[in-house]
Structures are given as C-alpha cells and as structure tokens.
Amino acid sequence: MDKEKIKKALNHFENDEYTDAKEIMVQEIKHKKNEYLKDKLGLRESLNSELNEDDTENALKTLKAIIGSLKGNKENDIYKMAEGMMKSYEKNKGFSKDQAEWIYKTSKAMFK
C-alpha cells in the first residue's frame, strides 16, 4: 500500500473528514486486492482491463477441473455455480472479473 496515501487518509480522519478518509482507504484496498489477484492468477494485464486469451483459457481449464471434480455430486452448490458459469462462458466467450475471482478462490480452496 502507498504509505503516503495511508498517512493522508489518517490525516483526514483526524480532521473529522471521514468520507475523504474512507475514499482513500477503499481505493487503496481495492488496488491492493487487484494486485494480489493479478499476481495469483498470473495475469499480465490489470484486472480492470480485458483479459487476454491465455488468461481466459486458464480460467476455462480451471473451471472444467472444478466441474469435473464435482460431477458425481450435481446437487452441490459449487457444482451448480460452476455449471452456470460454464453456460455464461459459452454464451459470452469470456469471464467477468467476478467470475474469474470466484474460479480462482474456489480452485484454491478445492485443490490446495
């Protein structure tokens, strides 16, 4: 995190400028979260930009692995969510940022 921005947020907080302090902190946390996900997902581009074909292909392979590992348990909520994402992928030929994040977190939890 940018120490100068954190100091600025603390100064705003001390001056009872809570909204300004919150805005700075929310942006810093969002930026750090995106950096973390970008690193963990192996993305070369920012999460705010379009994913490239390799990133989409990796997410698709991971989603297929999640579905494959749960195929015998079709009543499982994770399986249902993954199947819904697969249908969305087939329709849109890509994943949203939220979907990519879900795929990453789910695969990390399932395949430690």
- Each domain of the chain, given as residue ranges in start order, spans 1-41, 49-112
Above 50 in pLDDT, residue 94? Answer: yes
pLDDT at site 31? 83
Q: In the Cβ-directed half-sphere of 18, how many Cα atoms lie within 13 Å?
A: 1
In angstroms, rounded to a whole number, what is the distance separating the alpha carbons of residues 57 and 95? 10
Whether 59 shows a pLDDT value over 50: the answer reads: yes
What is the structure's pLDDT at 51?
44
Instruction: Band the pLDDT of 77: cuts 50, 70, 90.
Output: very high
pLDDT of residue 63: 92
pLDDT of residue 105 exceeding 70? yes
Q: How many CB atoms lie within 10 A of CB 88?
A: 14
